[in-house]
Structures are given as structure tokens and as C-alpha cells.
Amino acid sequence: MDSLYIFGLASQRTSYLAQRQTLVAENVANVDTPGYTSKDLSSFAEALDATELRMAQSQSMHLASLDGLSSTSDVITETPWSVKHSGNSVSLPQEMLKAGEVSREYALGTSVVKSFHRMLIMSAKG
């Protein structure tokens, strides 16, 4: 079972997507805020490839590094489709597109976990 990274990977993926959904919600809520620039996360592959150096904890007094995905995938200013006169760069169609993407990928992730879980249960029951 060493080769089954799938659960760890899937949970990382889902938390990445949940964070992306939050950014979509922020962009949509601020669609009429003057001077607001729309935000997005850098891609998941980029976040996985980035080697993250953490400070070693050799003593209990050392500060622990923050966990959570926010340290690996950065919030970036995305390339806007259009910028309004007020300096706002959110476009609703773009956000809806992104929301659809998030939903689809989330569904994929959860169904992969589901089917692997079924597989494990099957092999346990025999």
C-alpha cells in the first residue's frame, strides 16, 4: 500500500480548490468595489512542484512553521479580461467560469477518493 499517495494528494487538492472557491467568492462580492483587482491562486501543479524549505525544529522552543496550503500556493493577481473605469478588474463571466472549473475538479477529486475507498474496503472484506 506504499504506492497509494492518492488520499493525501486528494485532500491537498480539495483544500486547494476550497481556497480557490473563497477567492472566487471574494471577487464576485467585490464586483462593484472601486479599485479592486481580481485575485486567483497559482496553479496546483506549480504549488506541488515548488519545493518548500521549512525551518527544522530541533528544540521545542523553536517556532513551528505554519501549516496549511496558503504557504505553498500564492495568491496572484490574475490577468483581467477587462478593467472598468473605476479600476475594478473583476469580470463576472470569468468568475463563473472559474467557479464551474472548481466545482468540476472538486467532483473529480471526491469521486476518486470514493472509488479508492471502495477498493480498500473491498480488499479488506475479501
Partner 1 sequence: MADPLLSSLKIASSGLQAQSTRMRIVSENIANAQTTGTTPGSDPYQRKMVSFQSELDRVSGAQMVSVDKVNRDDSPFILESDPGNPAANADGYVKMPNVRMLVEMADMREANRSYEANIQVVKQAREIINMTIDLLRS
Give the residues lining the site for partner 1 (CB under 8 A): 14-15, 17-19, 21-22, 24-26, 28-34, 36, 68, 70, 92, 95-96, 99, 102-103, 106-107, 110, 113-114, 117-118
Task: Pick between residue 24 and residue 47 the one whose CB is nearest to partner 1.
Answer: 24
CA distances from 121 to 7, 58, 114, 116, 117 (A): 14, 39, 11, 9, 6
- Could you tell me the smallest distance in angstroms from the CB atom of residue 111 to partner 1? 9
- Could you tell me the smallest distance in angstroms from the CB atom of residue 59 to partner 1? 25
CA distances from 102 to 74, 76, 119 (A): 17, 17, 26
Residue with cell 496558503: 70
- Could you tell me the smallest distance in angstroms from the CB atom of residue 93 to partner 1? 10
Task: Pick between residue 48 and residue 69 the one whose CB is nearest to partner 1.
Answer: 69
